[in-house]
Amino acid sequence: MNYPNGKKAIAQVQQRTKKNTTTFSNRGMTLEDDINNTNIYYRTANLAIIHKKPTPVQIVNVNYPKRSAAVITEGYFKQASTTDFNGIYRGTYVDFEAKETKNKTSFPLNNVHEHQINHMRTIVEHNGICFILIRFATYNQTFFLPAVKLFPYWDSQFTGGRKSIPYQDIKEIGMEVPMNYPAQVDYLKIIDQLYF
């Protein structure tokens, strides 16, 4: 069978098949992308006001090859960032970190930084809702772990304990976050169950 341009259909099918097998870009969204899309839905539906925190950067050098095409060539983080997301839900301050791991058996604690833990402790002390979302990419599962359940694991690593949280522990002490549409990581359902 030929198309009007004279090319055979089989050749075009083979070409498309070859293209599809050699490209692996955009094979799925990251946890952060999923959360950003969820937050847009929450804001649009007037359910919550949650945003990704911008990372403070000091721009040192900018190259202007064209007036309309400035390129930042040198910059530095002004300070260590705290957590990834914050905002308000049902009149309560919400603050959380999002981490993704390809590890199948545990979540390495070195994915979290001490200044982030200190920040989380402060939020908890002031009665804010604070947690970490952990995605096990291999299983495509995302877990909600309240900060207060993270702290004992963090502290025990300095007194001879594990430097990771076993996957089974996270399944037991955390809650799996439902993946829905349009709320791709519907963490408000977990907040409702645990805090309201």
Can you tell me the distance from the alpha carbon of 161 to that of 169, in angstroms, rounded to the nearest whole number? Answer: 14
Q: What is the dihedral of CA 38, 44, 123, 146, to 10 degrees?
A: -30
Q: Please list the alpha-helical segments (H only) found in 24-146.
A: 31-44, 114-125
Q: What is the dihedral of CA 113, 174, 40, 125, to 10 degrees?
A: -60
Q: What is the pLDDT along the chain (196 residues), one digit of tens a residue?
A: 444 445 554 444 444 444 444 333 333 458 999 999 999 999 999 999 999 987 666 677 777 777 677 777 777 665 566 888 999 999 999 999 999 999 999 999 999 999 999 999 999 999 999 999 999 999 999 999 999 999 999 999 999 999 999 999 999 999 999 888 889 999 999 999 999 9
Distance, CA of 23 to chain centre? 24
* 8-state DSSP, 158: G
How many other CB atoms sit within 10 Å of the CB of residue 42?
Answer: 20
> What is each CA distance from 180 to 11, 41, 147, in whole angstroms?
39, 11, 24
Query: Would you state the pLDDT for residue 1?
Result: 44
> What is each CA distance from 135 to 29, 50, 57, 131, in whole angstroms?
12, 19, 27, 13
Beta bridge partners of 87: 50, 94
Query: Would you state the pLDDT for residue 27?
Result: 37
Query: Would you state the pLDDT for residue 76?
Result: 66
Nearest to 153 by CA among 136, 165, 143: 165
Which residue type sits at 37?
A: N
Report how many helices (DSSP H) and strands (DSSP E) the chain contains, helices first. 6, 10
Query: Would you state the pLDDT for residue 143?
Result: 97
For the chain, the domains span 35-195
Identify the CATH assignment for 35-195 out of 3.40.1350.10, 3.30.70.20, 3.40.190.10, 3.30.2230.10.
3.40.1350.10
In sequence order, the 6+-apart residues with CB closer than 8 A to the CB of 81 are 53, 55, 56, 116
Can you tell me the distance from the alpha carbon of 142 to that of 120, in angstroms, rounded to the nearest whole number? Answer: 20
Query: Would you state the pLDDT for residue 60?
Result: 72
